[in-house]
Amino acid sequence: MDWSKAEAPLVDEIAALAEAARAALPPPFRSGAADIAIRVVDFPDEEMLAELDIESPFELTGLYDGIPQTERSVFDQPSRPDVIWLFRRPILDEWAERGTVTLGELVTHILVHEIAHHFGWSDDDIASVDEWWT
């Protein structure tokens, strides 16, 4: 490949990979994840990093921002939609470091991890069934 003309995937391209991954989910999960907004930006903002006590923006590839289904009440009136944030630059760095997965596979993996949080799974729950996070 002639790398002199290669460009890093843009935000819209990462978003398209995430939407394709959501569309490929099994029906019960796909319907449960249908109303989650997916936002792709280059980096998490300072407020996100501070809330999670993360110093480097490169340490965070994705974030679920919402109320997990296991914590919702019929009395809750949502003020905004649940959002899955995907962070392009950290994703691209992890992709380059791994070197063994496609970008689509990595974006899918991160998206599924964040959707699991939407369904109420903790990081420990996810790690118990997903060897990437152990």
The yes-or-no verdict on residue 116 having pLDDT over 50 is yes
Other Cβ atoms within 10 Å of 106 Cβ, number:
20
How much is the pLDDT for 1? 64
Q: Of 126, 133, 117, 51, give the one whose Cα is nearest residue 84.
A: 117
Whether residue 3 lies inside any domain: the answer is: no
Whether residue 1 lies inside any domain: the answer is: no
Number of domains in the chain: 1
Tens digits of per-residue pLDDT, 64-112?
998 887 877 777 666 778 999 999 999 999 999 998 999 999 999 999 9
How much is the pLDDT for 122? 78
β-pairing verdict for 37-41 and 83-87: parallel
Sheet holding 83-87: strands in order across? 37-41, 83-87, 62-65
Whether residue 74 lies inside any domain: the answer is: no
Whether residue 92 lies inside any domain: the answer is: yes
Tens digits of per-residue pLDDT, 42-65?
999 999 999 999 999 999 999 999
| CATH classification at residue 53 | 3.30.2010.20
Q: What are phi and psi of 129, to 5 degrees?
A: -120, -5
Whether residue 41 lies inside any domain: the answer is: yes
How much is the pLDDT for 130? 66
Whether residue 49 lies inside any domain: the answer is: yes
Outline where DSSP puts E strands in 36-117.
Answer: 37-41, 62-65, 83-87
Q: Of 81, 46, 49, give the one whose Cα is nearest residue 66.
A: 81
Q: Coil, strand or helix: which one is 31?
A: helix
The whole domain housing 94 covers: 9-67+80-133
